[in-house]
Amino acid sequence: MYEIVIELEITVPPRAVWNYLIDVSRWWPVSNPEHVSIEVFSADGRIGSGACIHLVERIAGVPGEAEGVVRSFVEEERVTWTSDRCVYRYRGVPVHVEEGGEWRLAPIDGGTRLTFRGWARFSSGPFGRLAEWYFKRVLHGVELDYAHSLRELLYVKKAIERGAE
Percent of the chain exceeding pLDDT 70 equals 99
Chain mean pLDDT for the chain: 96
Residue range of the domain that includes 139: 2-161
Instruction: Indicate the residue type of 44.
Output: D
Q: What's the predicted TM-score (pTM) here?
A: 0.94
Confidence band, pLDDT 50/70/90 cuts, at residue 163: confident
Indicate which CATH number applies to the domain containing 72: 3.30.530.20
**CA 81 – CA 83 distance, rounded (Å):** 7
If one counts the domains in the chain, the total is: 1
Confidence band, pLDDT 50/70/90 cuts, at residue 164: low
**CA 142 – CA 4 distance, rounded (Å):** 8
